[in-house]
Amino acid sequence: MKKILASIALLGAVTLVAAGCAGNAGGGGGGGEGDVLTVGFAQTGSESGWRAANTESMKEAFSEENGFNLIFNAADNKQEAQIAAVRSFINQGVDAIVIAPITVDGWDDVLKEAKDAGIPVVLEDRTVNVDDDSLYASWVGLDFEKEGETAGAWAKETFTEPTNMVVLEGTTGSAPALDRATGFATGSEGAPITTLDSQTGDFTRDGGKKVMEGFLQKYGDSINLLFAHNDDMGLGALDAITAAGLTPGTDIQIVTIDAVRDGMQALADGQFNFIVECNPLLGEKVAEVVKKVVAGETVEKTTIVEDQSFTPEQAKEALPDRKY
- Sign of the C-alpha dihedral computed for residues 259, 261, 266 and 268 taken in this order: positive
CATH fold of 144-278 reads: Rossmann fold (3.40.50)
First CA to last CA distance, the chain: 72
Region 212-231: mean pLDDT is: 98
Q: What average pLDDT does the structure give for the chain?
A: 90
> Sorting pLDDT into bands at 50, 70 and 90, what band is 34?
low
What are the b/e assignments for 251-260, b being 16+ CB within 10 Å?
Answer: ebbbbbbbbb
> Sorting pLDDT into bands at 50, 70 and 90, what band is 17?
very low
Q: Model pTM?
A: 0.84
Express each pLDDT in 138-188 by its tens digit: 999 999 999 999 999 999 999 999 999 999 999 999 999 999 999 999 999
Q: Which residue intervals of the chain bear CATH 3.40.50.2300? A: 33-142+280-306, 144-278
What CATH number labels 33-142+280-306? 3.40.50.2300
CA distance 249 to 130: 41
- Specify the pLDDT at position 323: 82
Burial of residue 44, with CB atoms counted within 10 A of its CB: 0-12 exposed, 13-18 middle, 19 or more buried: buried
When comparing pLDDT for 22 and 118, which is higher?
A: 118
Q: Is 47 a residue whose pLDDT tops 90? A: no
Express each pLDDT in 53-70 by its tens digit: 999 999 999 999 999 999
